[in-house]
Chain A
Amino acid sequence: MTALLEARGIRKSFAGVMALHFVDIDVDAGETVGLIGPNGAGKTTFFNCVLGILRSDSGVVRFDGRDISGLRVHERARCGIGRTFQRIELFAESTVREHLLIAERTRQGTGSLWKDLLGMGRPHRDEIARCDEVLELLGLGAVAEAPIEHLSLGQGRLVEVGRALMTDPKLLLLDEPSSGLDRKETADLAATLRKVQAEKGFAILLVEHDVEFVAGFTERSYVLDFGTMIAQGRTREVLRDPIVREAYLGVPATEGT
């Protein structure tokens, strides 16, 4: 059986600097995988290559058995790859529910100019019901009507998760979800994510800095350093690996920024 996400031989360089050096990563359906590494290791570059924001110099990205290397960002999203952002990206001047509604409408792909003109473009009752279901699941039911400017950062992240969930993703890419959150908020977020994942059954690829979070959250992990895969396997074992400890956990001699 092939994996849900298969990235093979991803290579990317910026002006001669090798950001990714033939990186292979697999994510199976329903599993939770971590991608860790120090700053500048190439995690975000890899992320962007998978999402199509960057084009890799060589290599193939297959998703659900289909080669998506040539697809554009929104087309890849429609294949079933959802994501959240490290620096939160919400739609200004919209309420929480509106974020989910537009995602739901996009997933259905039923909106058209003619329907808008005939007044059939406004949210339907069943769409609202579906959104509210997800909002309840995420514990955002109370703030459904609130403009996103009034939310806390942790809630904002959950809105991003909810927005991604409305697209029925098979894989959710989480880009440093703990950044900007304190310990308790991170723990809450992890708990909520686990609960939602159990219910919906999507896979998660987690790019993360916070080792504790990764250790508690993922089964398997990949470790990147200077664009090269230096370790992979069960998260706990990987984190014990001396090479990883040297590269990432900061043996003083190699401490960088």
Chain B
Amino acid sequence: MTLATGVGADFLRALLQGTPPGTVYALVALGFVLTYKTSGVFNLAFGAQAYVSAAMYYKAHTEWGWSIIPALVLSVFVLAPAIGLTLERLVFRYLRTGTSVAKLVVTIGISLALPNIFELITNFKGVVGRTPAGIVPNGAGVFYDPFGVYPFSRDELTTIGVAVFAMLCLAALFRFSAIGLQMRAVVESPRMTELNGIRSDRVSAVSWALSSTFAGLAGVLIAPRFNTLAAPDFFNLVVVAIAAAILGRLVSLPRALAGGLGLGMVISLLGTFLPRWVQSNPWLRPFQENLTPAVPFVVLFGVLVLWPAIRRSREVSDPLSGVDPPISSLALATRSARSHLIARVVTVGALGTVAAIVYFRADASWMFLVTQAVIMATIYLSVTMITGLAGQISLCQGTFAAIGGFGVYQLATLHGMSVLVAAPIAAVIAAAVGAVLSLPVLRLGGIWTAVATLAFAFFFDAVAIKFSWVGGGNTSLMQGTRVPRPVLGPWDFADDRAFLVLAVVVFIIVSIVVVQIRGGTIGRTLRAIRGSEVAAQSIGISPARARVVAFAVSAAIAALGGALLSIHQKNVNYGSNFSPVSSLFWLVLVVSLGSRTIEGAALAGAAYSIFDPLILRGTIFGWILRSPDRVPGIFPISPKWRLILFGLGTLQFARHPEGAVEYWRSRTARSLAARQRSAPGTPEAPDAPNESDAPNGAVTS
């Protein structure tokens, strides 16, 4: 055992220890690259697919008591490919013409919907405090030590073996079968292979099934490494896989494999050696405690930002462009000033009525929910800013909101400042962070911006909040991140009613800010860039500068909303409010309902906090029927439906990226226009738009 004491032996041990997770990462990365290359889908739902298989295996093996083989066959070889095929057939096949960003948003929606659909169907409750079983009996209890440095558990050895076998199968398939050859061809160039008479949709179906199987296998293999079984852990898994896949530049399967294996080993090496460095340099401790889980995010972020090849491979960067049919400007053109005014008055009147009812009649819980809805709507205006106006997908809005929340916590609770002063300061801090972050990130464009912001969100989640000057450190562990309610002159905002008024006022102010920016220089500059970046540059617009402003403003809005939310709940509640996964849900909500308009943000806020109690619990039926006893027996509906509905709402986004609000509006406008045209005595508009006009395509392509 002399070998096991030196630094070299430690190194070797760390490498061996990193191999089992490394092979799983490689497996996921391979599956990820496979779908990206054959169907252009940057599949963030990959983790959800892995989770579903892992949960199915747990359900069948542990709960139903099936033996290992049938449980494995059901979860990995039946369910997983079925999910892959379903996604391809029912979803992505119809999104061929969509931009890669639209598809990315759809996969985010699916990653939220899929686990909930599964849990609803199978009545699976998730597992807490119990390590899921592996695919060999007594996998965690038997150890083998082939090199005399690191004892592999039976599970770990199985993991390595199965993963390597799966990869060999893939290699063999690629090498020896016709469909494999076709897949390789499609990976090289989908269009060329179509021209050669290969149906690339069949190839894409097969590769979806295959990659989904890989996801399922990876899920089942990795599950024993967690001591819970919950969907968010698996979302982290997919982020790791993206890091590995990007190391392979998203094209090369062997490099993705090497990237996954390498990441597993690097994480393990850091886990071994970082503590020793820390002994000589205590300042490194927060990093030591948190760097290991954050390695994939750091790698991902670093590679994206520093690797010029990624930047050059940018595609259409606007989620709202390149869709068919082209977005019509008819909604604005054909709406008369009068109908516009009427709509305004009706909307304001309805909102005023609701506000009055809530203000005078609502009980504490409804007051809480409505206030929360208003605050969430404020936060969602930040998405309106960055996605609706600047055309970029940001997946770290939750992080900016958290900066707002922690900002008021730090300034108000720890430094005795009034929260009313602290909140704007926190917003300024977030704006600065946003501006600095945007410099490298927004240059990437399109899906890469989305992925880089996702990496940032996870980095913040894993590392930054552990610093005492961010998350409060030990103080917050002992006392929680409490935030006081403010008092301003005669108003004491500890009163929920007064606070609701404050929230509404802030929402209105922020709405005005967004509307002013939209109609002003910045908004029109951003619209120009969104329309055509090269053309915008050709008249002297600096896209980088405009986007920095947009990102900073968006971050400030999110932080202001986050601060307000924390003040409302009298606590930051980071985990339940601002985690990276919540950022995903926010984005999904806003883009489904409309990222262009204030109404879209307001609706999304309502959907976030009132949809569940109002609709799913059947309260609204109780009101309509005048008695809660006569509410149909199907209520309450599971709150999981919220995630499912809005997750699948992204499909609507992919086809009509202007969102449900705008879509509905332009449809009514169009039918109005059609009615006017068919009415006798009304002359046809001279410039009646013609869908088949040739320049239409030329202009929007």
A→B interface (CB under 8 Å): 51, 53, 72-75, 77-78, 82-83, 85, 87-95, 98, 101-103, 105-107, 110-113, 115-122, 143, 146-153, 155-156, 160, 163-164, 166-167, 180
Contact A102 B528 (CB under 8 A): yes
- What 1/0 flags go to B520-547 for Cβ under 8 Å of A? 1111110110111011111111110000
- Which among A112, A113, A150, A166 is the interface contact of B539 at CB below 8 angstroms? A166
Contact B329 A77 (CB under 8 A): no
Q: How far is the CA of A156 from the CA of B517 in the complex (A)?
A: 27
A-B pairs with beta carbons under 8 A, tally: 154
Known: A92-B531, A93-B327, A166-B539. A122 touches B520 (CB 8 A): yes
Question: Which residues of A sit under 8 angstroms from B525, Cβ to Cβ?
Answer: 102, 105-106, 111
Contact B520 A116 (CB under 8 A): yes
Whether B513 is near chain A, meaning CB under 8 Å from some CB there, is yes
Contact B538 A77 (CB under 8 A): yes
Residue pairs across A and B with Cβ atoms less than 8 A apart, 26 shown, are: A51-B538, A74-B536, A75-B540, A77-B539, A88-B698, A89-B534, A89-B538, A92-B321, A92-B326, A93-B329, A94-B528, A101-B524, A111-B521, A113-B549, A116-B521, A116-B522, A117-B517, A120-B520, A121-B517, A147-B329, A149-B689, A149-B695, A153-B694, A156-B698, A163-B539, A166-B539
Question: Which residues of B sit under 8 angstroms from A117, Cβ to Cβ?
Answer: 513, 516-517, 520
B→A interface (CB under 8 Å): 321, 326-329, 333, 513, 516-517, 519-525, 527-528, 530-532, 534-543, 549, 553, 687, 689, 693-696, 698-701
- Which among B531, B537, B538, B687 is the interface contact of A94 at CB below 8 angstroms? B531
- Which among A53, A72, A149 is the interface contact of B699 at CB below 8 angstroms? A149
Question: Which residues of B sit under 8 angstroms from A120, Cβ to Cβ?
Answer: 520
Question: Which residues of B sit under 8 angstroms from A121, Cβ to Cβ?
Answer: 516-517, 519-523
Closest to A52 in B: B537
Question: Which residues of B sit under 8 angstroms from A119, Cβ to Cβ?
Answer: 516, 520
Contact A164 B693 (CB under 8 A): no
Contact A77 B537 (CB under 8 A): yes
Known: A89-B535, A143-B687, A149-B700. A105 touches B521 (CB 8 A): yes
Contact A153 B687 (CB under 8 A): no
Question: Which residues of A sit under 8 angstroms from B699, Cβ to Cβ?
Answer: 88, 90, 92, 148-149, 151, 156
Contact A91 B532 (CB under 8 A): yes
Contact A150 B521 (CB under 8 A): no
Contact B527 A90 (CB under 8 A): no
Question: Which residues of B sit under 8 angstroms from A146, Cβ to Cβ?
Answer: 687
Question: Which residues of A sit under 8 angstroms from B701, Cβ to Cβ?
Answer: 87
Contact B531 A82 (CB under 8 A): no
Contact B698 A94 (CB under 8 A): no
Question: Which residues of A sit under 8 angstroms from B326, Cβ to Cβ?
Answer: 92, 149
Closest to B688 in A: A150
Shortest beta-carbon distance from B515 to chain A in Å: 9
Q: How far is the CA of A115 from the CA of B516 in the complex (A)?
A: 9
Q: How far is the CA of A92 from the CA of B328 in the complex (A)?
A: 10
Contact A147 B540 (CB under 8 A): no
Question: Which residues of A sit under 8 angstroms from B516, Cβ to Cβ?
Answer: 116-119, 121
Known: A74-B541, A77-B538, A103-B539. A111 touches B695 (CB 8 A): no
Shortest beta-carbon distance from A213 to chain B in Å: 20
Question: Which residues of B sit under 8 angstroms from A74, Cβ to Cβ?
Answer: 536-538, 540-543
6 closest cross-chain pairs (CB), A and B: A121-B520, A111-B521, A91-B531, A116-B520, A89-B535, A147-B329
Closest to A146 in B: B687
Q: How far is the CA of A205 from the CA of B524 in the complex (A)?
A: 29
- Which among B329, B513, B534, B543 is the interface contact of A85 at CB below 8 angstroms? B534
Closest to B534 in A: A89
Give the most central of A89, A91, A93, A110: most B CB within 10 Å. A93
Contact B329 A151 (CB under 8 A): no
Q: How far is the CA of A213 from the CA of B517 in the complex (A)?
A: 44
